[in-house]
Amino acid sequence: MDGNLSANDISHIVDADRAHVWHHLTQHKPFETGEPRIIIEGKGMRVWDQKGKEYLDGVSGGVWTVNVGYGRESIANVVRDQLIKMPYFSGSAGSVPGALFAEKLISKMPGMTRVYQTNSGSEANEKAFKMVRQISHKNHGGKKYKILYRDRDYHGSTLATMSAGGQDERNAQYGPFAPGFVRVPHCMEYRAQWNLTGEAYAEASVKAIEEVILAEGAETIGSLCLEPVTAGGGVIPAPEGYWPRIQELCRKYDILLHIDEVVCGVGRTGTEWFGYQHYGIEPDFVTMAKGVASGYAAIACCVTNERVFDMFKDNSDDPMSYFRDISTFGGCTAGPAAALECMRIIEDEGLLANTAKMGERMMGNLQALSESHAVIGDVRGLGLFVGAELVTDRTSKEPASEKQIAQVVAECGAMGVIIGATNRSVPGFNNTLCFSPALISTADDIDNITETVGKALGKVFG
Ligand SMILES: Cc1ncc(COP(=O)(O)O)c(C=O)c1O
């Protein structure tokens, strides 16, 4: 823990925070009597709070972000060097790290060719939405403007991305939303809408999307936006056979496929660089944020294939035909400099393979825990992106309450392990514990997390 901060400094910081900081996703009333948690320092998989308490971070900075772990001097060094040389110029010009990072990223994304740099996942998704709208105006008389999104998926906190938000509790009280966004059914087999399993369930899920397309009119649908594995909506990988059918559907109706890799991207799912690459599909847009620079700098990207890119340069005589969009901080060079170094770390340290191995261990440990804890209804995930859905009855699948879930998270915290949970997301179904430790996790780290979860479940559910 940071020896440079005296007890007085810390107490001043806590006071300043309580007086002036508005924390994200947080009800502040408890801070009138208690202290907010302030994270002072991090190293590897561990962080320390203002009281000097050490935590094993099972969620990479709370929200699936610090994929290469804390305290990476090499990232700090490349960012520092880059900032001194050239911190910023608007994205209408290029930059040295911007070009090199784009080249490196594209080398890991066969079929994709262009990187549009932005500063948040929400913004990256909005770029894709705007491109779809502009393509509609340029090529389809403005008619092919609708964007399909899936129940339980999340694409960001801005009003347009919330308009594409499949989590009603997250959206509640923030409407009205933008027109032209249409919801399609989820594909969560554990909570199947039809009495089917496996491939048959996958087929029904995709057929249900087709029905929406036909009801709306295929000529009005511009894109389909999906998370490869739904994150905050419950950690939901699609059933076997889902993705090839999605690809087929998009081709059949000339619908652009937008994959939101904000959580899954850049290694989180193990073995592959991106979630969609596990399924052999060819998206038109891939958006990413969180793990791109592991939170060492703010960077997000909307990556497209050449087919999309070409539609914005095909008529240079038309002054309105190119993508007339800017993201001021999309011109910051710290982001691509940090992102390039993160990719080097992932390659040199073999983190894609480690993620697959540790992810399997985590799933296995949680499955084993479910033998002694009937409250674990389902364990799901891909790589180090894992969820455990808690139910009070395995037969009826009655969800555990959000309050009980919060107690499990708090018990783990008290034992020095930070885990996450779905919250204020899908009404009545905020009952999934979330795990996303850094890609550098060791077997001991994974075992420590799951053993602690076992103890916490014992305390809360007996
Ligand atoms: C799948 C997904 N897409 C988009 C976003 C939005 O990213 P940001 O918070 O960087 O705007 C998130 C954030 O949690 C996310 O989980």
- Residue 407 CA to residue 401 CA, distance in Å, equals 10
Instruction: Give the type of residue at 368.
Output: A
355 band by pLDDT with thresholds 50, 70 and 90:
very high
Sign of CA dihedral 124, 326, 104, 316: positive
CB 25 within 8 A of CB 423: yes
- Stretch 350-358: mean pLDDT, rounded? 98
pLDDT of residue 272: 98
CB atoms within 10 A of CB 130: 15
- Stretch 377-388: mean pLDDT, rounded? 98
Tokens of 78: 């490349």
Ligand 1 touching residue 231 (CB < 6 A): yes
Query: If you write DSSP's letter for every residue of 339-355 in order, what string do you get?
Result: HHHHHHHHHHTTHHHHH
Q: Which residue has the tokens 């399997």?
A: 360
Query: Can you tell me which atom of ligand 1 is nearest the CA of 158?
Result: 11
CB 194 within 8 A of CB 204: yes
Judge whether residue 3 has pLDDT over 70: no
Ligand 1: distance of its center to the CA of 262 in Å? 6
Ligand 1 touching residue 164 (CB < 6 A): no
* Domains located in the chain, CATH noted: 37-66+350-461 (3.90.1150.10), 74-348 (3.40.640.10)
Ligand 1 touching residue 227 (CB < 6 A): yes
Query: If you write DSSP's letter for every residue of 56-101 in order, what string do you get?
Result: EETTIIIII--TT-B--HHHHHHHHHHHHH--B--TTS--HHHHHH
Query: Can you tell me which atom of ligand 1 is nearest the CA of 230?
Result: 1
Query: Can you tell me which atom of ligand 1 is nearest the CA of 264?
Result: 1
CB 185 within 8 A of CB 209: yes
Residue from 24, 123, 290, 432 whose mutation best tests the ligand 1 pocket (most atoms within 8 A of CB): 290
- Stretch 146-164: mean pLDDT, rounded? 98
Ligand 1 touching residue 122 (CB < 6 A): yes
Tokens of 416: 């020095």
69 band by pLDDT with thresholds 50, 70 and 90:
very high
CB 120 within 8 A of CB 289: yes
Ligand 1 touching residue 155 (CB < 6 A): yes
Judge whether residue 2 has pLDDT over 60: no
What torsion, rounded to 10 degrees, do the Cα atoms 196, 270, 124, 296 define? 150
- Residue 36 CA to residue 28 CA, distance in Å, equals 9
Q: What three-state secondary structure class fits 200?
A: helix
Ligand 1 touching residue 154 (CB < 6 A): yes
User: What percent of the chain clears pLDDT 90, i.e. is strictly above it?
Assistant: 98
Cross-strand bridge partners of residue 5 = none
Residue from 263, 288, 424 whose mutation best tests the ligand 1 pocket (most atoms within 8 A of CB): 263
- Residue 353 CA to residue 315 CA, distance in Å, equals 45
Ligand 1 touching residue 335 (CB < 6 A): no
Sign of CA dihedral 305, 311, 315, 318: negative
CB atoms within 10 A of CB 276: 26
pLDDT of residue 388: 98
Euclidean distance between the first and the last CA atom of the chain, given in angstroms as a whole number = 35
Per-residue pLDDT tens for 290-312?
A: 999 999 999 999 999 999 999 99
pLDDT of residue 172: 97
4 band by pLDDT with thresholds 50, 70 and 90:
confident
CB 331 within 8 A of CB 91: yes
pLDDT of residue 37: 95
Strand pairing category for 46-49 and 54-57: antiparallel
What torsion, rounded to 10 degrees, do the Cα atoms 339, 342, 346, 347 define? 70
CB 388 within 8 A of CB 431: no
Ligand 1: distance of its center to the CA of 287 in Å? 10
Per-residue pLDDT tens for 88-142?
A: 999 999 999 999 999 999 999 999 999 999 999 999 999 999 999 999 999 999 9
CB atoms within 10 A of CB 13: 15
Per-residue pLDDT tens for 22-47?
A: 999 999 999 999 999 999 999 999 99
